[in-house]
Amino acid sequence: MTPYIRLHILHLKYMPEPEAETLSPLALSILELLDERPMHPYEMSSTMRIRHQDEFIRLNFGTLYHTVDMLERNGWIVSGEREKEGRRPERTIYKLTEPGREVLSRTLGELLRKPMREYPHFVAGLMFMHHLSASEAAGHLNERASLLDALVTKFEHVLDELHKQGLSRLTLIEMEHKIAMLDAERKWVRKVEKEIIDGKLEWKAGIDASHATLRRSHGESTH
């Protein structure tokens, strides 16, 4: 294992782990919707899609029903009355319980105040892009920046349309955050691409020989 990888691992080892409830974004979305009013799963799914929450949550009916079942087993939601429309099968309407409201509030507080360790795929690509040639890496980053341009444009359009429909800024704050993060990423990607093309980013990985003291002291600390 090379010294700079050991240094990276040592840094990660001592990062504090969050203590938030282990609830998926889909589970949180279900609890949040039921905090507004009782719903059946089909209405939950429709509401998430209308609000474009499926841009942030992996949503399909199989996972939705599995998550509803898990929340009910934990006592955070309860099934109530059944609704029937025409020839459609009966739909079970669910309600949020007081323990469910408590876990929703506690989990949201944890998520807002504590940075979570995440593992985005793009970071893995950056960690190992030195295995490509500089020109290849620059080309891939250029393509990524173009795709990010399209995503920012798409989300800005969706946000504008939802505002016109009367949804408040607070209701759509996660989409505003998404746009800000995508915009920051595309600017950074274009900056790195330019540095590669201009030769300002040295295409060499590892710790320079002049940093022998760092290498030695780190090696001693990891045994």
Residue ranges per structural domain of the chain: 3-15+120-221, 25-113
Phi, psi (deg, nearest 5) at residue 91: -115, 130
**Cβ count near 120 (within 10 Å):** 8
Model pLDDT, residue 85: 61
Phi-psi label, residue 217: left if phi above 0, alpha if psi -120 to 50, beta otherwise: alpha
Residue 41 in this model has a pLDDT that exceeds 90:
yes
pTM, two decimals, is 0.71
Which of the residue ranges 6-10, 61-65, 178-182 has the most confident prediction, judged by mean pLDDT?
Answer: 178-182
Confidence (pLDDT) at 87? 58
Closest CA to 23 of 71, 61, 73, 65: 71
Q: Is the pLDDT of residue 6 over 50?
A: no
CATH architecture for segment(s) 25-113:
Orthogonal Bundle (1.10)
HEC sequence for 40-69 = CHHHHHHHHHHCCHHHCCCCCHHHHHHHHH
Contacts (Cβ under 8 Å, ≥6 apart) of 222? 6, 10
Q: What is the mean pLDDT of the chain?
A: 84
Give the tens place of pLDDT for each residue, 135-170: 999 999 999 999 999 999 999 999 999 899 898 999
Q: Is the pLDDT of residue 194 over 80?
A: yes
Distance CA 89, CA 171 (A): 32
pLDDT(204) > 50: yes
